[in-house]
A and B are shown apart, each in its own frame.
Chain A
């Protein structure tokens, strides 16, 4: 287990180093000088240009600049946004919770819908299974932005059940009300994929001989499923479910913009349009970090769930 952890942490370190390098270096790939990207659309005075070069240390060697930037980030200084000259960390702090809330609600929906439909299909072969399989095959092809637009037109405009735009009302329930459509749109594909994986994993365990033996011994079907089949089917389900939830951090970009939710995704696209490069860098890096960390958690959980992987020690 220790060797596995050490290996994964090294991998994490390398991945985060490379992605931070890419996020930082991207600025220098841009056509034109870096300060013109940093200055955005404005035409600067020579003094402003010099101030920018000074502020970002553009006259230092590239690696020195990168390490300086990285050091600042590790100390919690994410740079200064061009919008109102505020610290980027403050702008992110103001919208961070909306994204976390959205990811949380979506994860609950994915678990409930995905596991529910998957179990239903696995335990009820025949017509129900065929129906669930067809539905999940179609839903797996419904992108979040299509679901969002159609959802707004049906449930917000026609039926007026939910707000079409913005973060919803006050308090926990008010916010939840505003999150229903965005979270559902974001959850569709992931729920369908999780349902298929759950169905396959549970079905595979049901077909094994120990299940038949247990059934032959007269153990009630429900008990077999809960006590034996589910724990054995859990590892692939948890892995896929975790990876799908990890991917949500990037998925929020689309949904938040479709619904005008003030979260990290809206901040990111807004910053791209305003050419606010420091904010783009910080948000991208945070989202990648969240994604990579969530993947690590999934890996570790998988090890804890499946003793066979632990004994193998080949990770």
Chain B
């Protein structure tokens, strides 16, 4: 709550405000959180610059150099058809990160307005939205995606859409309860009395004020979406095989059974590291909010023996 009330604070120049925001972020993340953030930035960099930094064409086969050992021309070796593993991992970052990003983005775009409208209007709308979110929450995301793939076709688009629906409650429930708390605050009543409309108050005041709470959910939802989408690709239901994707790369049973597990291990490590980093960031962002609330509560000074 102390984070975003820019309208009430004294005039601040833009760069100093940006610096302050950066410092706050650093304080909230801590040292390990910053390392996690750097890892995520590195992965995003790999995804964005894949055509530039990948040493080889990810789909170019070289049947004379099958299962090449790491080193030399192929830093991490080659797979069963002589494709460069490093290049496939780098290109795989694209599908592996863009998919979950779309899932989270879609569920935010639908979920936030839904949550704000429910919290603002209350009454039957809130009851219906709440019940709807409960029902969606009780459907396992993987099953929703499998059903969607069965109806349409295996591929990233149906899987991403289905997961976005299944992930609605993750964001919307948190946003709704945070918005309900804000709605009860005196400043909202004051704005209403001044004649501000509901939509304007929601967009200009409620939304910024619930951002810290919802923001902490985003990395966690992203991590879960990454795991679910990679699992679906592993099952052959989302990203399809010749295309490089971390989930697809883990599914190389043939190589594993022949004792060539390096590609599986590399892709697995990338998934695990990215998921752990995201969860750590989410934990730090959310944990700080919790700690602050505790600190602000009236507490007896000193320990009673």
B85-109 contacts to A, CB under 8 A, are none
Nearest CB in chain A: distance from B297 CB, A: 16
- Across the interface, do A272 and B268 meet the contact criterion of CB distance under 8 Å? no
- Across the interface, do B138 and A145 meet the contact criterion of CB distance under 8 Å? no
A180 in the interface (beta carbon within 8 A): no
- Across the interface, do A269 and B146 meet the contact criterion of CB distance under 8 Å? yes
Q: Which of A149, A158, A253, A288 contacts B139 (CB 8 A)?
A: A288
- Chain B's closest residue to A269 (CB) is B235
The complex places the Cα of A81 from the Cα of B142 at a distance, in Å, of: 22
- Tell me whether A146 and B138 are in contact in the complex, defined as CB-CB below 8 angstroms, given that A164-B257, A287-B143 are known contacts: no
- Across the interface, do A257 and B235 meet the contact criterion of CB distance under 8 Å? yes
- Across the interface, do B143 and A153 meet the contact criterion of CB distance under 8 Å? no
Question: What 0/1 readout, one digit per residue, does chain B (248-262) give for beta carbons within 8 Å of chain A?
Answer: 001111001101010
A152 in the interface (beta carbon within 8 A): yes
Question: What 0/1 readout, one digit per residue, does chain A (100-131) give for beta carbons within 8 Å of chain B?
Answer: 00000000000000000000000000000000
The complex places the Cα of A282 from the Cα of B230 at a distance, in Å, of: 25
Q: Please choose the segment from A86-94, A136-144, A166-174, A217-225 that sits at the chain B interface, where 4 or more of its residues have CB less than 8 A away.
A: A136-144
- Chain B's closest residue to A248 (CB) is B140
The complex places the Cα of A242 from the Cα of B149 at a distance, in Å, of: 29
Question: What 0/1 readout, one digit per residue, does chain A (22-33) give for beta carbons within 8 Å of chain B?
Answer: 110011011100
B131 in the interface (beta carbon within 8 A): yes
A11 in the interface (beta carbon within 8 A): yes
B150 in the interface (beta carbon within 8 A): yes
A15 in the interface (beta carbon within 8 A): yes
Interface size in chain A (residues, C-beta < 8 A): 53
A295 in the interface (beta carbon within 8 A): yes
B181-197 contacts to A, CB under 8 A, are none
Nearest CB in chain A: distance from B257 CB, A: 6
- Tell me whether A18 and B272 are in contact in the complex, defined as CB-CB below 8 angstroms, given that A31-B152, A150-B265 are known contacts: no
Q: Please choose the segment from B50-58, B69-77, B199-207, B274-282 that sits at the chain A interface, where 4 or more of its residues have CB less than 8 A away.
A: B274-282
A157 in the interface (beta carbon within 8 A): yes
- Across the interface, do B135 and A254 meet the contact criterion of CB distance under 8 Å? no
- Across the interface, do A254 and B143 meet the contact criterion of CB distance under 8 Å? no
The complex places the Cα of A154 from the Cα of B272 at a distance, in Å, of: 17
Q: Which of A146, A269, A280 contacts B250 (CB 8 A)?
A: A146
Query: Looking at B147, B250, B261, which has the most chain A CB atoms within 10 Å of its CB?
Result: B147
- Across the interface, do A146 and B146 meet the contact criterion of CB distance under 8 Å? no
- Chain B's closest residue to A271 (CB) is B150
The complex places the Cα of A31 from the Cα of B265 at a distance, in Å, of: 39
B213 in the interface (beta carbon within 8 A): no
B214 in the interface (beta carbon within 8 A): no
The complex places the Cα of A38 from the Cα of B235 at a distance, in Å, of: 22
A36 in the interface (beta carbon within 8 A): no
A39 in the interface (beta carbon within 8 A): no
- Across the interface, do B227 and A143 meet the contact criterion of CB distance under 8 Å? yes
Question: What 0/1 readout, one digit per residue, does chain A (268-289) give for beta carbons within 8 Å of chain B?
Answer: 1101110101001000100110
Q: Which of A37, A153, A253 contacts B235 (CB 8 A)?
A: A253
A1 in the interface (beta carbon within 8 A): no
B222-258 contacts to A, CB under 8 A, are 223, 227, 230-231, 234-237, 247, 250-253, 256-257
The complex places the Cα of A309 from the Cα of B88 at a distance, in Å, of: 53
- Across the interface, do B256 and A149 meet the contact criterion of CB distance under 8 Å? yes
- Tell me whether A253 and B142 are in contact in the complex, defined as CB-CB below 8 angstroms, given that A137-B280, A138-B276, A269-B237 are known contacts: yes
- Tell me whether A143 and B140 are in contact in the complex, defined as CB-CB below 8 angstroms, given that A27-B151, A150-B265, A277-B150 are known contacts: no
- Across the interface, do B146 and A284 meet the contact criterion of CB distance under 8 Å? yes
The complex places the Cα of A74 from the Cα of B40 at a distance, in Å, of: 49
Residues of A within 8 A of B237 (CB): 269, 272
The complex places the Cα of A295 from the Cα of B137 at a distance, in Å, of: 11
- Across the interface, do A26 and B235 meet the contact criterion of CB distance under 8 Å? no
Question: What 0/1 readout, one digit per residue, does chain B (115-144) give for beta carbons within 8 Å of chain A?
Answer: 000000000000000010011001111110
- Across the interface, do A291 and B138 meet the contact criterion of CB distance under 8 Å? yes
- Across the interface, do A250 and B140 meet the contact criterion of CB distance under 8 Å? yes
- Across the interface, do B257 and A254 meet the contact criterion of CB distance under 8 Å? no
- Across the interface, do B142 and A143 meet the contact criterion of CB distance under 8 Å? no
Residues of A within 8 A of B285 (CB): none
The complex places the Cα of A288 from the Cα of B142 at a distance, in Å, of: 11
B148-169 contacts to A, CB under 8 A, are 148-152, 154
- Tell me whether A272 and B150 are in contact in the complex, defined as CB-CB below 8 angstroms, given that A138-B276, A249-B140 are known contacts: yes
- Across the interface, do B151 and A145 meet the contact criterion of CB distance under 8 Å? no
- Across the interface, do A153 and B140 meet the contact criterion of CB distance under 8 Å? no
A297 in the interface (beta carbon within 8 A): no
Nearest CB in chain B: distance from A163 CB, A: 12
The complex places the Cα of A258 from the Cα of B143 at a distance, in Å, of: 17
- Across the interface, do B272 and A141 meet the contact criterion of CB distance under 8 Å? yes
The complex places the Cα of A15 from the Cα of B140 at a distance, in Å, of: 13
Residues of B within 8 A of A149 (CB): 250-253, 256, 261, 264, 268
Nearest CB in chain A: distance from B280 CB, A: 7
Q: 9 A-B Cβ contacts within 8 A?
A: A31-B152, A145-B230, A149-B261, A149-B264, A149-B268, A258-B234, A272-B154, A273-B154, A273-B236
B interface vs A, CB < 8 Å?
A: 131, 134-135, 138-143, 146-152, 154, 223, 227, 230-231, 234-237, 247, 250-253, 256-257, 259, 261, 264-265, 267-268, 271-273, 275-276, 279-280, 304
13 more A-B residue pairs beyond the given contacts A138-B272, A250-B141, with a C-beta to C-beta distance below 8 A = A15-B134, A140-B279, A141-B273, A145-B230, A145-B231, A152-B256, A153-B265, A157-B261, A209-B304, A269-B235, A272-B154, A284-B147, A291-B139
